[in-house]
A and B are shown apart, each in its own frame.
Chain A
Amino acid sequence: MSQPFRLNKEGLINRNKKISFTFNGKKLFGYEGDTIASALIANGIHLVGRSFKYHRPRGFFGAGVEEPNAKLQVEFNGHSEPNVNATEMELVEGLSATSQNCWPSVNFDIGAINNFLKMFFPAGFYYKTFMWPKSFWYKIYEPFIRKAAGLGVASLEKDKERYEHKFEYCDLLVTGSGPSGLASAYAAAKNGAKVILAEDKPRFGGTLLTDDVSIDNLSGKDWAEKIVSELKSMPNVTVKNRSQVFGYYDHNMLVMFERVSDHLEKKSKFTPRQRLWYIRAKETILSTGSIERPIVFGNNDTPGIFLSAAAKEYMKVYGVLVGKKPIIFTNNDSAYETALEFKKNNVEPIILDTREEHSSELIDEAKSKGIDIRFSHGVIVANGYKKVKSAKIGKLNKDKNSFEKIETIDCDCICVSGFWTPSVHLASQSGNKLKYDEKIDAFIPDKKKQHETSVGAANGSFTLEQSLKHGFENGAYLSAKITDTKTEIAIPNVNEKKYGAHDKFWCMPLPKNENPKRFVDFQNDVSVSDIEIALREGYRSIEHVKRYTTLGMATDQGRTSNLNGLQLVSNIENKIVPEVGHTTFRPPFTPITIGTIVGREVGMEYMPTRKTPMHEWHERNNAVFVDAGAWKRPRYYKQGNETLFEASKREAKNVRENVGICDVTTLGKIDIKGPDAAEFLNRVYTNAWMKLPVGKARYGLMLREDGIVMDDGTTTRISENHYHMTTTTAQAANVLSHLEYYLQIVWPELNVNVVSTTEQWAGAAIAGPKSRDMLSKLYPDLDVSNDALPFMGYKEIDFFGVPSRIFRISFSGELAYEINVKSDHGLFMWEKMMEVGEEFGNQPYGTEALSTLRIEMGHVAGPELDGRTIPSDVSLNGLVSKKKDFIGKNSLGREAFNVESRQKIVGLIPIDRKSSIPEGSHIVKDKNVKSPNPKLGHVSSSCWSVENNNPFSLAIMKDGKNMIGKKFFAVSPLKNKSIEVEVISSHYVDPEGKRVRS
């Protein structure tokens, strides 16, 4: 149970709490506060995965978001998650981690044969190899590549976790709690601003936790703790750890990903796993710090090679040694701090510095402690397959392109530092065009595009003194603009080590006749030679080089590789880096779970469910529901073992023979009031509305301005200046917006108001030859005769003591009425109807029967009014007034709308009177013509005509009216059917419309 690489004292972990976990089946333990990575390294485990393309052994490289290699499949809290970053995931009891992209195991991976076949996998190999024979691609090549080049496996189980979204507004959002972030947040908070401080890691403080500095005589860590606890105590400040601001969107909208409970062993049922914050900030401080970049050398991907700052973080935060015989390979002073930290822990490092012998505060300190420093030296190639064992090192000549001396020295880890790259991702996402800073060989933010201010290392200033000063100043300045308060804060005294200049050196040359892989991008296995190939093959734009080589395209988004890639391109192209430019930074900065993006919008909460007041009755009576937008409508009421087909036939037949009731609450209803209401309707509808008397309904047709039918429905004149409009269920919202558009923008002079009343009224249609008898029983005091309540008549009268509206309108083509009562009385009305209707053979009918009834009557609905038809296409030209103007009228004169052969609505019946015609079938002359078979039209709606007991369809067909009596084929390749059909009139039943008027 001993941990060979754990230091005795150092670190911020809780040594009183052991946590057990497994890695590739092996039982191990770590401490509370460990990441998977720190716990594995403490146990001496470095080989954690295989690389993407060549299946080379890979170990840890970083200690946080920059990690390119250590992506694990992790099972914890009952779910399995792929591609978890081992350097970020905190250890929890019982966690089980396994390596990805290796088979049968990470130690013995058959895919590693790719490493020896690497000549077949150069840049762009996807585009070059596997091209022949063509038919092999889907069955052999693609599955092979997919299997070989993979990350983790997504779980097929339903995600049982809870995820949440939160919307927040603040004056200042500070992204990152390093020195500059803490200073900014503190200054702004003191000015009374509403501040959110977000830190990605579990611990606040950023580099203050690892750097050997003091602020006002406190250690960096203690100062950070003091500031954070003060911030936490202030009511105007929200302090969040484990929270990554990953996206910067328009108008200062930032999105943050909070890991709420992944690190907890137990949590309450309603604690979300993760939370997505939408934060609208007036000002944003980007204190995202910087990421160390490596120096490129041979076999630089061997396990045991680390970024030098990561090695220091493992010692200082986790009390873990990444090795006991380290080589520090650097071009700058910061890695000396890592060396000194090793030395402090009684480990003897060797420093290889690419710079010529010189002196600085840190170099002098390292020298005085007796550390072996070799100037003008670098690592040429790392030796060792699954773990670095030794390094071939070289003394560079003056031009740094060849070697004066080469030797091999033993080591068990190499800590590499190629200087620092500011994390400018969020700044770039905000629209900020970056500029290249020659002093640090990296891009930094340029002019602001939104309300963002980059401070500290993210802005290219790498000293603590500067970072704090910028932080305090900007925090105070930005918040004072908002709160109009200025609180004086003394900038603290800082004690830090002064760094000397870094060396503009990023890639080790190779000795003659040696050609080890030198990786630029670890996660996608992109080496120096791959980029050279891309450039040789003519790719010039950095965006093209990126896509051809996949440089910087993996989940780590090239955090450690982008700048070295740019250096390489600029060297080969003989350009300077700013001329090459950089690739686009896109959100998310780090991978986030799909669950977080979805939030609570899953299952029942995916969208709102609209239920009619009668829903409960439908449920009790075996209704099978269908979605109509957000509405649930009964499709049919199942009796016994009935199928949809049988039930809908029964229901429709009963309407034709007796009487049925249908829940029509979902129809859109709009109340229209005002002295100009009639004039308005007259402009909105194609037919005339000025003379509609009070107490009468009229069918109306509305067009878009381009002449296409938009919607249809009836509108009833309730009183002089009050109309009740109905729309189709699907178009209700669009029609309301459409009316509002004309009233507010086009004709504001019309004194009319519109408001949706869809949810205020419950509606039921009573249809069938016995509906009048039933109505007279429902309304014993009402004269229901054809004279007193004629077709398109309207009455207001109590329904068993409840106010109600009766409209004599019909969608089924039968004698029919529609009753509306206030929603609260809907269920009462329905139950009363069921009770009273019994003696007339009343049955409820659903949307399927409703469709059948309207189709065989030739009434058009959504499938015919599909956004491509004008009134004459669907035999509604009788409703188009020639006398008055209306919306869309001018378009109806267009030439294409008036040619003789234009599409028209027709009816179709199969010759055999048996075969149902699939909706969507194409009508063709000859079914045997090879495609493309000229299409004459399409089948829009199909039903089984209960009146004639055979299939019947509506179709929209070229020159339709002249095709009546002719025979064609309705073909549906999708259903593999072709049915011989005869064209007939679209009005299959009661073409004169006698029944509705009876």
Chain B
Amino acid sequence: MLYIKCPYCGLRAQKEFSYGGDATVKRPNINEEVSNEDWDNFVYMRKSPRGKHIELWQHIAGCRQWIKVQRDTATHEIFQTAKVTEEIR
């Protein structure tokens, strides 16, 4: 079971969190024209890397904040966590 450091609450067990997918995907701006290709990439296309992956988790049984987690998908090592407004280098 992973041990995730919520930037608001500190280290908490995985069962308090809910997974939210790739954190690097950016939604096209609202009220702006978007090409079919860009839209499809946003809705459907995801990479499945082996190794470092920046992803979203929500601290659902805690502060309910969405957070960013940089995790190794093969070893589960967590390198860094951050608020969604912060960048992960």
Contacts and interface: CB of A to CB of B under 8 A. Distances in A.
B79 to A, nearest CB: 13
B42 A251 contact: no
Contact of A745 (B30, B44, B66, B78): B66
A85 to B, nearest CB: 28
Interface string B1-32: 11100000000010000101000000110110
B30 A744 contact: no
Interface in A864-909: 884-885, 890-891
A885 B27 CA distance: 13
B18 A737 contact: yes
Determine the main DSSP class of B at the interface with A. Answer: loop
B84 A252 contact: no
B46 interface: no
Q: Which of A278, A737, A884, A890 has the most CB of B within 10 A?
A: A890
Contacts of B84: 744-745, 748
B39 A250 contact: no
Contact of B2 (A251, A431, A748): A251
Contact of A885 (B31, B42, B60, B76): B31
A597 to B, nearest CB: 14
A522 to B, nearest CB: 35
A253 interface: yes
Contacts of B76: 250-251
Interface in A425-459: 431, 449
B88 interface: no
B39 A891 contact: yes
A890 B39 contact: yes
A746 interface: yes
A278 B27 CA distance: 39
Interface string B70-89: 00000110100000110000
B66 A431 contact: no
Contacts of B34: 890
Given A431-B75, A891-B43, A249 B85 contact: no
Interface string A700-743: 00000110000000000000000000000000000001001100
B30 A885 contact: yes
B28 to A, nearest CB: 8
A280 B76 CA distance: 16
A884 B34 CA distance: 14
Contact of A740 (B39, B42, B58): B58
B2 to A, nearest CB: 6
A656 interface: no
A251 B43 contact: no
A740 B56 CA distance: 13
A250 B43 contact: no
A747 interface: yes
Contact of A706 (B18, B20, B43, B78): B43
A252 B11 CA distance: 13
Contacts of B28: 890
A683 interface: yes
Contacts of B27: 705, 746
A416 B27 CA distance: 68
B77 to A, nearest CB: 9
Contacts of B56: 745
Nearest to A895: B36
Interface string B43-59: 11000000000001010
Interface in A582-601: none
A449 B3 contact: no
B85 to A, nearest CB: 7
A683 B30 contact: yes
A890 B34 CA distance: 8
Contact of A737 (B30, B31, B43, B60): B60
A744 B66 contact: yes
- Pick the 5 closest A-B CB pairs, nearest first: A251-B3, A250-B76, A890-B39, A885-B31, A744-B66
Interface of B: 1-3, 13, 18, 20, 27-28, 30-31, 34, 39, 42-44, 56, 58, 60, 64-66, 75-76, 78, 84-85
28 contacts: A167-B13, A249-B1, A250-B1, A250-B3, A251-B1, A251-B76, A252-B3, A253-B1, A253-B3, A278-B1, A280-B3, A683-B30, A705-B42, A705-B43, A737-B60, A740-B58, A740-B64, A740-B66, A741-B58, A741-B66, A745-B56, A745-B66, A747-B30, A748-B84, A748-B85, A890-B34, A891-B39, A891-B43
Interface of A: 167, 249-253, 278, 280, 431, 449, 683, 705-706, 737, 740-741, 744-748, 884-885, 890-891
Given A167-B13, A431-B75, A705-B27, 14 more contacts: A251-B2, A251-B76, A278-B1, A706-B43, A737-B18, A737-B60, A745-B56, A745-B66, A745-B84, A746-B27, A748-B84, A885-B30, A890-B28, A891-B43
